[in-house]
Every structure is written in C-alpha cells, then in structure tokens.
Structure 1
Amino acid sequence: MSDTTSTLSVPRPRAQAPASAVAATSGAALDEAIALTRNLKLPHIRRALTEIVPVAKAQRWDPAEVVRALLAKEAAGRNASNLRTRRQHAAFPTGKTFHIWNEDASSIPVPTQSALRTLEWVGRRENLCVVGPSGTGKSHFCEALGQAAVDAGMSVTWFTIEDLGALVRRHRVDDSVSKAVARITRTDLIIVDDIGLLPISPDAAEGFYRLVDAASERRSPAVSSNLHPAGFDEIMPKTLATATVDRLLHHAHVAVTQGDSHRLNEATTGRGVVPLN
C-alpha cells in the first residue's frame, strides 16, 4: 500500500453574478413566460405577469403563492369575459335588472317574485308565463330574470314573437328551421316577449310552436303576454294555439300582473322625463 497521501480537491466558490446579469436573466425569463402565455392562450396571466412578478420578488413570496395569484387572475378574467359573451348573446332589449325593480309596486306577490328570482325553476326545466295588461312590468320582470340568470352562469336568449317569424322565414329557404330551433334550445332560459298585442303572423305562430315543442321538458321558456295563454287561439290558428299552450302550460308557473300602466302613471305625473327649464 502506498504511503502517499492523496489530496482531495475542493471546488472553488463561484463568483457571484453581477446584478446586471441577474436582471438580464430575469428579463429573459419573463419574456419567455409571456411568450408561453400567448402560446397557451392565457391572456389574463400575461397581463398580470408584469404586475405580480416584481411584487413577488420584492416581498419574497412562496412560489406556490405566485402560481395561485396568477391562476386567480386568469380565472377571474375568463369569468368576466364569459359573462360579457353571455350577456351579448342574450341580446336583451334595454338592460333592465332587479337593481331598478320595485317589488312592492308589482302586483305579483312578493313571495312569488322571490321564488322565481332563485331561478330554481330554470334548473328544473319548468316554464314561466307572465300575463297582464300593458305597462304592468311584465317585460321588465322577465328581462331582470334573464339578467340574473346570466349573472348565475346560465345562457339566455331573448326574442319577440315576430323575431321567431323572421327566423322561420330566413331558414325556410334552405329547410333548416329545425336546426335553427335546435340551436336555440341549447340555451338554459328562452324568453319570448310581447305576445298578445297583435295577431301573430303564420310564420311567427309556427316558430313559437316549434320553439315551445322543442324546449318542452328540456329547457325553460318564459313568455310575457297581454293575453292569457288560454286565449292564444284568438291571435293564432286554433290548432297551433292548442298544441302550443298544451306544452307551454305543462310544468308552468303563471304570474299575473294587474293595475294601471306604470309608464302611463309616470307620464301623467311628469316622472317620465327630465323637466324642461
């Protein structure tokens, strides 16, 4: 055995990188992260990176906290984007919500209003008919329910009865009416407004029947009407009216509004406009 003593080599400590080099590396990493968010379609994380990364470095966040904060930004951004898309798709006519709704001024009993506002009936695929004279809040109540449904993550579509007639005429050209109605009934809540003021055109009557039939026990149609559904045979062909009402009133809630027109009351008391100077 050799008596020569072996010498262990001890690694030399690395020289600390200059601050400028650290900054350059950090900048390159951030640029790469931004590029990856583009590739992975994470726009809300991309916008948050330049805000969150410097704060995380300065405050020495745990890496898991950085990930959580970035994912939270992406989730919140997507939720807001989806909400805007659902509201645009609904095509509400005026933007009325329950924020400007006076439940005590409505002739619909307050417990009924509260039950309908839970939207549990939409989850159960039940129908809604809001019936009463013009100006008693039918359209406002239906639109506010639709807005609440959008806020709750549901999909909503809004039609007038003549919109359905136009849809039938447009799709009859290539015999795609059934497909068009099927697309509509992918929506959770389908609102048809303003029935009963005028006779319904044959195309609108057909579209209304097709919609109610396709949605029956699958989706929730909600209609507002000056005329009770039992009297729809006065404004549309009796055969179609009977078949439509049979399906519409099955598993339906009927809310009746009464009284004078809110619009007329505002007009006669000068509350409908800003007073002229």
Structure 2
Amino acid sequence: MTRPTAPAIPDELDRLLRRMRLPYLRKAAPDVLATARAQRWDPAEVLRVLINEEVIGRDSATRRMRRHSASFPTGKTLASWRPEESSIPEPTQHALSTLEWIGRHENLVLAGPSGTGKSHFVEGLSQAAIEKDLRVVWFTLESLTQTIGKAKVDGSVARTVARICRCDLIVVDDIGMLPAGQDAAEAFYRIIDAAYERRSVAVTSNIHPSGFDSIMPKTLATATVDRLLHHAHLVLTKGDSHRLAEALAGKGVVPLS
C-alpha cells in the first residue's frame, strides 16, 4: 500500500526555511506536521522533533564531508575487519577501537610485513573516528612530501602544517616501502613535531621505527622517531600477507566464465 503524501508546507514557511538555511528541517516538516496534527502533539514536541531532524542532517553531512576531505584510500571500515585473523592481540584491537588514545593525544605505530592488515585496521579506526565527530587526514609519505613541497613554493609551509594539525588524527601510511630522501624526511618531521602532544598521529610501516634511519637521513629520523614514540602505542604485526593468501586461494578475482 502506498503511503499517502503529506501536504506541503505553506509557501511562506518554505521561503523562510530556505532563507534560514534549514534544509533538513524543511524536508522533514510536511511529515512531522502531519503526524503532529493527527496525534495532537504539544507544540514544544513539534519544535523539538523538527530541530532534531536538522541537527541529525547536518551531522550526517559533516561526516560525509570529513570522509571526503580525509582522502581515505579504500573506504574500508571496522565492519569489514576480521579481528580473529589478525596477529594484533584482540585486547589491543579493542582498546584502540575505543579511540580514547586520540583524546589523550597519543600516537599509534603499526609495523610489520606487507599485507598483514596494518592499513586496513588504521583506516577502520579512522572511519570510526569520523563517526565520533573527529577530524582525520590521510597521507602516504609521498603525498605528504608533495603537500609540503607545494607549500614551500609559495611560502605557506607554516600555514599548511597548521591546517593539517587542526585534524584530531593524522595518518601517514606505508612508510618504508620506498627510500625517503631529505624532502620526505623533512615533511614527516614537520608534521610529527607540530603534532607532538597536541594531536594524534597514526603511522603504518613495514619496518620498525628504530630502522627509519635506514631509509631517511639519520638526524631527521632520530628526532622524528623520538617524538613519534614518546606517547605512542607500538603494535607489531606478523605473518603472511592476507592479499597473497587470498590470491593463492583464488579469492583475488571473480572467476572467468
């Protein structure tokens, strides 16, 4: 059975709601007002429900915008994470999933072989952070280097670093996959130094942070790791690559017909 359409709100009220920029309240108003008339709601309840619709709509739009701005690589969430298949102890997974460490401005470093779920887990945590109305930004070391490099050209490095550090969680993914030169090491150091004890940084790497001086200049690596690990949860993953295991099991592609 088709639900009857609620009568449209008066044109004058529609114009006022548009002028006040209350799109979610305006969209909900016909159904809410029709229900209120039928059930004889108290006027205060009508106002509460309508304002709540606007708040819910704005919060949802803000989260969508933050997910887009974060530049996540895949869109994976904790819903697709399989905790029983990870080498990370489940109590550790649970503790990190509370996101309380972000509120304490602590860092997270996941280090281990490629394909052991580091990026998936951190992206899931990042998505959960946005659901809790936190701001997140995602970089690879290469994209971070490019961002800081562009800022050098127009002399806006300080502003760029400050803008990045307005986020509650800053992710730098896949350190150690390629050698990092002076520019990459400097960009990484600038963010770690600016965020130190003010924001949380999550790093994934296929090498232990103690080995960062093997891929970047030693002086910068030492100063960066010193600040990164001072208030950090260091989690080491192990095992074979999940991606390789799926490929060998024939789960990496849809079978040809």
TM-score band, normalised by the shorter chain? over 0.9
Aligned to 1:105: 85
Counterpart for residue 184 of structure 1: 164
Contact 1:165 1:201 in 2 (8 A): no
Tell me the secondary structure at the aligned position of residue 227 of structure 1: coil
Query: 1:249: which partner in 2?
Result: 229
TM-score (norm 2): 0.94
Aligned to 2:183: 203
Q: Is the 8 A contact 1:157 1:190 kept in 2?
A: yes
Larger radius of gyration: 1
State the identity as a percent: 59
| CA deviations over 1:3-30 (Å, ceiling 9, x no partner) | xxxxxxxxxxxxxxxxxxxxxxx98x83
Report if the CA contact (8 A) 1:163-1:204 is conserved: no
Instruction: Classify the secondary structure of the residue corresponding to 1:249.
Output: helix
Give how far 1:258 is off.
0.1
What is the number of residues matched between the two proteins?
Answer: 251
Counterpart CA distance in 1 for 2:159 and 2:70 is 19
8 Å contact kept, 2:181–2:217: no
Equivalent position amino acid for 2:176 in 1:
G
Equivalent residue of 1:187, what SS? Answer: coil
Counterpart position of 1:226: 206
1:119 is the counterpart of 2:103: no
Please state whether the residue corresponding to 1:254 is helix, strand or coil: strand
Q: After the TM superposition, which residues 46-57 of structure 1 pair with which residues of structure 2 at under 5 Å, given as runs?
A: 46-57=26-37
> CA separation in 2, counterparts of 1:165 and 1:231?
20
Aligned to 2:65: 85
Per the TM alignment, residue 71 of structure 1 is displaced from its structure 2 partner at its CA by 1.0
The alignment yields a C-alpha RMSD, in angstroms, of: 1.4
Amino acid at match of 2:105: R
Aligned to 2:243: 263
Q: Do the aligned residues in 1 keep the contact of 2:25 with 2:50 (CA within 8 Å)?
A: yes
TM-score with structure 1 length normalisation?
A: 0.88
Structure 2 unmatched runs, 5+: 1-6
Q: Tell me which residue corresponds to 1:10.
A: none
1:66 maps to 2:46: yes
Aligned-partner residue type, residue 133 of structure 1: P
Find the aligned partners of 2:40 and 2:155 in 1 and give their Cα distance: 64
For 2:52, what is the secondary structure of its paired residue? helix
TM-fit CA distance, 1:237: 0.4
Q: Which runs of 5+ in 1 are unaligned?
A: 1-25
